[in-house]
Structures are given as C-alpha cells and as structure tokens.
C-alpha cells in the first residue's frame, strides 16, 4: 500500500485520490478481473474505483493495458476490523426468524379454511398465505372438511 507504481494519473479524480483517502491496492491486466474485485468490495461497503492505464514502450514494441485498483483506506480498515471481531458486515441483515404456523386441531383448521373459502370468497393461495401453509394442504383440508373426515377425530 502507498506505492503508486510510478503512476501518472489520467484525470483529476485519480490525481486527487490520495488526498481523498484512497490508495492503490493492486493492478490487473484485464477489465473483467478488476470489475469482479470491485463488485466484491462494493458488496462489502468498501469504496473503490478503477483506473485504466496503457503502458507502452515504443522502442521494444511493447504495449500493455493495466487496471489500477484504488481503495478507500478507512473502509478497508473498518472491514478488516469487523472481520477480526466477528461482527456482521455493514450490508449484512440479520436472518429473519421464521414464523411457526399456529397449531390447532385439524377439524378447527378445516372449519376456518371452509369459512374463508365459502363465506369470504378467498382463493386457496390467499388462504394459504394467511395461514402460512402450502396451498395443497389448504385444499386438502377444505375438501376433507367438507366430507366430514375430521369429525371422527378426538379432541
């Protein structure tokens, strides 16, 4: 870090990068490689940008494209600190707690489904979403409840 590889800046943004807290981290030979790295950095809330430089030596007939990776130092330090401490990264959201469906006797559930279907005129998908059950289960409960299959169950 801190070595500019003998770099001559291409534009004002690159010229003022060190003043704004950026350092050259690395360089890549293809745009695809650097784009991949930058997308990973941006996904971790690390600010970074790329700078394209064409290197050529006319006497030897040598020409090469290099892509320099500039990274915001304070973001990288914060990222490393969070990793070492085992803290969640800034863009990570805590996992959602899965809601458990309310357990009731099957006869009662079938009655609720029949009421929602016949009286409220809801579709099986709407009922399934509301009760947090698969629509195939809701359909089965509806038809079995209509036939009275749950009437024989013990409470």
pLDDT of residue 94: 62
Q: What is the pLDDT of residue 119?
A: 92
Task: For residue range 15-59, list pLDDT tens digits in order.
Answer: 888 898 999 888 888 899 999 999 888 888 888 998 888 877 766
> How many alpha carbons fall within 13 Å on the CB side of residue 24?
19
**Taking a C-beta distance cutoff of 8 angstroms, is the pair 142, 110 a contact?**
yes
Q: Is the pLDDT of residue 149 over 60?
A: yes
Q: Compute the distance between CA of residue 68 and CA of residue 52 in angstroms, rounded to an integer.
A: 6
SS3 110: helix
Residue 77 pLDDT? 87
Q: How far is CA 133 from CA 36, 103, 110, 137, in A?
A: 40, 11, 12, 7
96-125 per-position pLDDT tens digit:
777 676 667 888 889 999 999 999 999 999
pLDDT one-digit tens code per residue, 62-81: 667 888 899 998 988 888 88
CB 117, CB 142: distance < 8 Å: yes
Q: Give pLDDT, residue 105.
A: 84
What's the pLDDT at 1?
45
**Greater pLDDT, 7 or 36:** 36
Q: What mean pLDDT do residues 77-92 have? A: 75
Residue 93's pLDDT is 62
């Amino acid at each position: 870090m801190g070595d500019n590889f003998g770099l001559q800046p291409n534009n004002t943004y690159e010229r003022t990068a060190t003043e704004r807290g950026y350092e050259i981290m690395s360089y890549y030979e293809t745009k695809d490689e650097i784009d991949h790295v930058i997308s990973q950095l941006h996904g971790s809330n690390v600010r970074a940008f790329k700078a394209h430089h064409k290197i050529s030596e006319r006497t030897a007939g040598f020409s090469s494209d290099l892509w320099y990776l500039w990274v915001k130092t304070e973001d990288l330090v914060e990222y490393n600190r969070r990793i070492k401490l085992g803290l969640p990264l800034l863009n990570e959201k805590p996992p959602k707690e899965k809601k458990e469906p309310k357990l009731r006797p099957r006869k009662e559930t079938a009655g609720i489904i029949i009421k929602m279907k016949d009286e409220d005129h809801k579709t099986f998908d709407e009922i399934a979403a509301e009760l947090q059950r698969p629509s195939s289960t809701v359909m089965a409960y509806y038809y079995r409840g209509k036939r009275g299959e749950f009437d024989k169950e013990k409470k």
